[in-house]
Amino acid sequence: MARKIAVTAMAMAMAMATADVSFAFSPSARFTPSSSRSPSCVSTPSLRSGATSLNMATVKVVDKSGGQVAQLQCDRETILRDAMLAGKVDLYYTMKGKLFNCGGGGNCGTCKVDLVSGNLSPRTAAEEKLLKGCPPSFRLACQSCVMSDVTVRNKPDA
C-alpha cells in the first residue's frame, strides 16, 4: 500500500512536470476534454455476458447497412476501443490501420467509428484535429469513453 502511494505520488509529480500526459499515470483521474491524449476512462475493459449492474453499458456495433456486427457489455467509462478490441470487433479494417495504428494514442485516426446513438465522452483535442471535415457523429474509438448504452457504426469510411 505504501509503495503504491509512493508510486502514485511519483507519477503525479512526473505528470505535473509534463502536463500533456497528466492523466496517463493516474487511473482514477477523470476525463480532460482539452487533452490530446487518450481519455482517462477505465482503460481495461470488463466485458460480461449479460448486463447485471447499473454501471454497465451495452455497445452495439453495426455495419454500414445497419446490420449488427457485435453486441458487447462493458463497464461505463470504458474506452470504446478497448471494449471493441476485447470483443474481437474488427476495428482496424484498413491495412494502414492494422499495421500502423498508434495503439490508442490519438495520433493515427484509424480507429474511426460513427456514433449512431447513445453518449460518449466529449471529443478530445485529438479528435478535433484528426476528424476535421468529418460529420460530428464521427469519433475516434480510442478517445471515447462509453457513457451510456451506445450504438456505433464500424468502418464508416469503407
Q: Which residues bind ligand FES (CB under 6 A)?
A: 101-102, 104-111, 140, 142
24: Cα within 13 Å, side-chain hemisphere? 16
Closer residue to ligand FES in complex, CB, 10/33: 33
Cell numbers 476535421 correspond to 132
How far is residue 44's CA from residue 131's CA, in Å, rounded to a whole number?
25
Least Å from the CB of residue 145 to ligand FES? 13
Q: How far is the CB of 7 from ligand FES (least distance, A)?
A: 27
Closest CB to ligand FES among 14 and 33? Answer: 33
φ, ψ of residue 68 in degrees (nearest 5): -75, 125
Cβ distance to ligand FES smaller for residue 81 or 147: 81
Closest residue to ligand FES in the complex (CB)? 142
In the complex with ligand FES, the residue whose CB is nearer, 87 or 109, is 109
CA–CA–CA angle 100, 141, 85 (5° rounding): 70
Give the number of C-alpha atoms closer than 13 A to the C-alpha of residue 135, restricted to the C-beta side: 10
**Closest separation between CB of residue 57 and ligand FES, Å?**
20
Instruction: Find the length of the chain.
Output: 158
Minimal distance in Å, beta carbon 142 to ligand FES? 3
